Amino acid sequence: MGRESARRAAVGVLATALALGIGHLLAGLVGPTSSPFVSVGNTAIDLAPEPVKRFAIDWFGAADKAVLLGGMAVVVLALAVLAGLLSRRGPAPGALLIGGFGALGVLAALSRPDLGPVGALPALVAAVVGVFGFVLLHGGSAGTAPGRRRFLITGAAVAGGAVLAGLGGALLSARSGAAAAREAIRVRLPTPPPPPPGADFADLGTPAFRTPNAEFYRVDTAFVVPSVDPASWRLRVHGMVERELELSFADLLRRPQVTRPITLTCVSNEVGGPYISTADFTGVPIRSLLDEAGVLPGAEQLFSTSADGYTAGTPLDVLAEPDRHALLAYGMNGEPLPPEHGFPVRMVTSGLYGYVSATKWLVDLEVTTFDRRTYWEERGWAERAPIKTQSRIDRPGPFEKVPAGRFTAAGIAWAQPVGIERVEVRVDGGPWRTAQLSTEVSGDTWRMWRIELDLPPGGHRLECRATDRTGDAQTPRRAPTVPDGATGWHSVFCTAQGAR
Ligand SMILES: Nc1nc2c(c(=O)[nH]1)N[C@H]1C(S)=C(S)[C@@H](COP(=O)(O)O)O[C@H]1N2
Ligand SMILES: [Mo]
């Protein structure tokens, strides 16, 4: 790239950086999700075709947002350079390109369910700053050596301004954020008691019975964690009910408090996958709210909406079951909900995959029929999604080399809400042997298993299968995660080494 081209590319990058910096600064005042980068990121997530989303969840897991952020940064940088390079004669082509993308940013912000028209302001101002900044810098970049020096100084000033504006926006967003409210909040929450002895085989590589909040799996469509202030939080329970309810956070805290250990599971979990965790959730039984509101005949689902516009539908017949544990939770393992797990209030329902039953950053509950379609249903996932009985081998790990002879394999099994009756393991297609189970805490939670094997030297294939408390065995039939959860037996290959 010649010196002139480099300069023009720099003009594109500087104008774009300034635009995004100012947009981020304004978003600090208007609301964190109105930042152009964020609203475009959120729109990209919602518009992404279902297989792309599945790919992102499968391959990047909880890092999927960071990967998207990086990808967007690369695209924006490329466009900014292109805007500069296209503007050989005059600033018009680059200004048009930047203006065009600015307009897309405004449209993205306008389409966000959590943002009103004011939410498009940061993107609008960013677009204007981008276009005018580009034109001005372009004019100033032409000419002779002293002009070049001046350009360097201007460029440094603009870059500095962009960074300062961006940092200012980040600071403002952090201060307005839920994190501060969460620190300040006072909620009576029971300290989780130690799980009963033998509730896990963590020394053998299974997860601990209770998952620490920081290690709890996370799956959601939110590019940045929605920020919900408990002081202004209101929950309406409405639709096909006799009496509409409206609750503040304080109202919720005044209600009888229940704490239950529940194992949450994601429908996107492949056989052997990691999207399963357990916590003590504290909150209010959903059934008590529904009873108070009085569900009208003909109603089918509890349609929940989150602060960022995500929706889910929980079958009312499931929520009406007397033994079903479903909570409006505000506590997790003795702490207020962490921001990433739905602060201040989320749903948790034992026995249903998270996408139909565990709405985070909950703001609205509508009693309705299945005609009302939800975020994931519109993308091809099932209306009803009970958790399928599953088991997983955690030890040995895939292709692990283990000593030949006596070896203890271990893993987990789950069948919420009925619980696990039995886990069996076989080696190299041989006879099934029953594993030893961990102490049962509740049908709502996972159970660990372990079994002592005698492995001759060489390669081996281990398989496991679970049977639930109703006597139903885990099916060997392989099914993909779409539309209502993967099935099949988990198997692991390992190599036993050395003499027995
Ligand atoms: N607001 C909101 N709630 C949501 C989701 C989401 O994308 N947005 N994802 C659901 C899915 S698919 C799952 S599996 C659980 C995961 O909860 P966790 O992230 O606390 O583990 O949250 C559910 N609640
Ligand atoms: Mo999920």
What separation in Å is there between the alpha carbon of 73 and the centre of ligand 2? 27
Taking residues 153-162, report their average pLDDT.
87
**Is residue 176's pLDDT more than 70?**
no
Q: Which ligand is nearest to the CA of 306?
A: 1
What is the number of the ligand 1 atom nearest to the C-alpha of 307? 1
**Is residue 456's pLDDT more than 90?**
yes
What separation in Å is there between the alpha carbon of 122 and the centre of ligand 2? 32
**Whose CA is closest to 450, among 390, 402, 395, 405?**
395
**How many of the other CB atoms lie within 10 Å of CB of 60?**
13
Q: Give the end of a domain, one of 379, 411, 437.
A: 379
The total number of residues written for the chain in this structure:
500
Q: Note whether 114 and 246 are same-domain residues.
A: no
Q: Note whether 354 and 408 are same-domain residues.
A: no
pLDDT of residue 164: 86
Q: Note whether 101 and 210 are same-domain residues.
A: no
- Rounded Cα distance, 188 and 341, in Å: 19
Highest mean pLDDT among 75-89, 106-120, 279-293: 279-293
Highest mean pLDDT among 110-119, 163-172, 424-433: 424-433
213, 220, 262: which to mutate for ligand 1, most atoms within 8 A of CB?
Answer: 220
What separation in Å is there between the alpha carbon of 347 and the centre of ligand 1? 9
What separation in Å is there between the alpha carbon of 447 and the centre of ligand 2? 20
The protein residue with its alpha carbon nearest to ligand 1, atom 21, reads 218
pLDDT of residue 143: 53
The domain total for the chain is 3
pLDDT confidence bin for 352, thresholds 50/70/90: very high
Q: Note whether 19 and 147 are same-domain residues.
A: yes
pLDDT of residue 299: 98
- Rounded Cα distance, 123 and 108, in Å: 9
156, part of any domain: yes
Provide, rounded to the nearest whole percent, the portion of the chain with pLDDT above 70. 97
- The number of angstroms, rounded, from the C-alpha of 98 to the middle of its chain's C-alpha atoms is 31
133 vs 421, higher pLDDT: 421
- Rounded Cα distance, 65 and 303, in Å: 26
What's the chain's average pLDDT? 92
Q: Note whether 10 and 126 are same-domain residues.
A: yes
Ligand 1 residue neighbourhood (C-beta within 6 Å): 216-222, 264, 266, 306, 310, 341, 354-355, 358-361
* 80, 10 Cβ separation under 8 angstroms: no
491 vs 185, higher pLDDT: 491
**Whose CA is closest to 137, among 153, 113, 126?**
153
What separation in Å is there between the alpha carbon of 160 and the centre of ligand 1? 38
Q: Give the end of a domain, one of 379, 401, 428.
A: 379
Q: Note whether 333 and 215 are same-domain residues.
A: yes
What is the number of the ligand 1 atom nearest to the C-alpha of 376? 12
413 vs 49, higher pLDDT: 413
pLDDT confidence bin for 484, thresholds 50/70/90: very high
What separation in Å is there between the alpha carbon of 377 and the centre of ligand 2? 12
Q: Note whether 134 and 211 are same-domain residues.
A: no
**Whose CA is closest to 468, among 424, 402, 408, 404?**
424
pLDDT confidence bin for 500, thresholds 50/70/90: low
- Domain residues for the domain of 249 are 185-197+206-379
The protein residue with its alpha carbon nearest to ligand 1, atom 24, reads 359
How does pLDDT run across 377-422, given as a tens digit for each residue? 999 999 999 999 999 999 999 999 999 999 999 999 999 999 999 9
Single-letter amino acid, residue 226: P
Own/partner contacts of 192-198, CB < 8 Å, gap of 24 or more, are 192/280, 192/333, 192/334, 195/439, 195/441, 196/439, 196/441, 197/439, 198/438, 198/439
**Is residue 140's pLDDT more than 70?**
no
What is the number of the ligand 1 atom nearest to the C-alpha of 265? 14
What is the number of the ligand 1 atom nearest to the C-alpha of 362? 1
pLDDT of residue 385: 98
- The number of angstroms, rounded, from the C-alpha of 389 to the middle of its chain's C-alpha atoms is 23
483, part of any domain: yes
179, part of any domain: no
Q: Note whether 362 and 410 are same-domain residues.
A: no
61, part of any domain: yes
158, part of any domain: yes
Q: What are the structure tokens assigned to 305, written together?
A: 């909406």
Q: Note whether 242 and 122 are same-domain residues.
A: no
Q: Note whether 295 and 436 are same-domain residues.
A: no
Pick from 10-19, 107-116, 269-278, 369-378: least confident: 107-116
pLDDT of residue 57: 76
- Rounded Cα distance, 350 and 318, in Å: 10
264, part of any domain: yes
**Is residue 358's pLDDT more than 90?**
yes
How does pLDDT run across 260-305, given as a tens digit for each residue? 999 999 999 999 999 999 999 999 999 999 999 999 999 999 999 9
51, part of any domain: yes
pLDDT of residue 264: 98
Q: Note whether 31 and 145 are same-domain residues.
A: yes
| Three-state DSSP class for residue 281 | strand
* 230, 236 Cβ separation under 8 angstroms: no
CATH classification at residue 449: 2.60.40.650
Q: Give the end of a domain, one of 360, 379, 398.
A: 379
The protein residue with its alpha carbon nearest to ligand 1, atom 1, reads 360
**Is residue 146's pLDDT more than 60?**
no
- Rounded Cα distance, 49 and 379, in Å: 8
Partner residues linked to 434 by β-bridges:
424
Report which DSSP code applies to 295. Answer: B
**Whose CA is closest to 166, among 12, 31, 16, 18?**
18
Single-letter amino acid, residue 347: M
- Rounded Cα distance, 278 and 446, in Å: 8
CATH classification at residue 352: 3.90.420.10
141, part of any domain: yes
Single-letter amino acid, residue 243: R
Pick from 35-39, 332-336, 386-390, 406-410: least confident: 35-39
Q: Note whether 400 and 335 are same-domain residues.
A: no
How does pLDDT run across 205-247, given as a tens digit for each residue? 999 999 999 999 999 998 888 889 899 999 999 999 999 999 9
469 vs 133, higher pLDDT: 469
